[in-house]
Amino acid sequence: MGQLELLSVPEPAQPEGIDLRCCGVAELLANLPEAPALIVADPPWSYTNDASQLNGCAGAHYETISDGQIARVLADSYAQAKSGGRLALWLTWPKLQNWIDAVGDLDPVWPWRFVSGGAWTKTGGPGIGFHWLGNSEPVIVYCKDAGSFTNSSATTSNAHTSPRQKHSEKPVAWMAQWIERWTEPGDLVCDLFAGMAPLARACAQTGRRYAGAEIDPERYRQAVDRLALGRSV
């Protein structure tokens, strides 16, 4: 896959409360120990334009799935979520209208309630794109039922700036702020497309339990090695 080399043999133990599995999303959702207070999705978006051939795009590094498939998976996750829980969905600006269309095409209707959104501004090397270089990435937040601010004293902004990471890895520090704002210590956080599992590291830092799925064995193993070493980048 051209990513980081494996860091240890045999596979190291995962931190207490962290359960990263090498499996698909359906298997993860069918075997959760309890209803998660937060579900995070960083899906392998599919792109149909020429940018999909560029090294910086997802399709150059791992298999992607359609917008409709992603919408169905996230709609199915609604039944598993805790009442008042949240779904945080990472996407890219070019996919925004495609995502709106995919949600609108669902039958039955999309169950999650949109509440807000934010963006990660990436520093470092330039991004890729046609209309302009993509140096920010949006995240959309949905709620199940009314939703609540579990910890209103935990301050976090809907804008975050930090260095760009490889292979679509999202910022640990910002997601740790989400976790502290939206969940209680000991709550379960569910990671549907774990990748290099930065969310697992954020959960370990904040004392939340974690259940995540990464279907690719190589990426799964690299993520487990990073967890063992406590690496955030």
List the pLDDT tens digit at each of the 233 positions of the chain.
445 555 557 899 999 999 999 999 999 999 999 999 999 999 999 987 544 444 445 544 558 899 999 999 999 999 999 999 999 999 999 999 999 999 999 999 999 999 999 999 999 887 888 788 889 999 999 999 875 656 666 678 999 999 998 777 999 999 999 999 999 999 999 999 999 999 999 999 999 999 999 999 999 999 999 999 876 55
Q: Cα(44)–Cα(5) distance, rounded to whole angstroms?
A: 21
Check if the beta carbon of residue 67 is closer than 8 Å to that of residue 44.
Answer: no
Bridge partners, 90 (sequence order):
139
Within the chain, residue ranges assigned H as helices are 25-30, 67-77, 96-104, 172-182, 198-206, 217-229
* Chain-centroid distance, C-alpha 231: 17
pLDDT at position 147 is 59
- pTM across the whole model: 0.89
* Chain-centroid distance, C-alpha 14: 19
pLDDT at position 155 is 79
Bridge partners, 119 (sequence order):
138, 159
pLDDT at position 53 is 46
| Torsion sign (Cα): 46, 51, 52, 54 | negative
pLDDT at position 151 is 65
Check if the beta carbon of residue 124 is closer than 8 Å to that of residue 86.
Answer: no
- DSSP conformation class of 147: -
- DSSP conformation class of 37: S
pLDDT at position 1 is 43
- DSSP conformation class of 218: H
Q: Cα(145)–Cα(22) distance, rounded to whole angstroms?
A: 31
- The full set of domains in the chain, from first to last, is 34-187 (3.40.50.150)
Check if the beta carbon of residue 14 is closer than 8 Å to that of residue 41.
Answer: no
Q: Cα(39)–Cα(186) distance, rounded to whole angstroms?
A: 15
Structure tokens at 34: 């309890």
Structure tokens at 142: 């949905």
Nearest to 210 by CA among 12, 19, 69: 19
Q: Which residues of 131-163 are buried (b: 16+ CB within 10 A; e: fewer)?
A: eeebbebbbbbbbbeebeebeeebebeeebebe
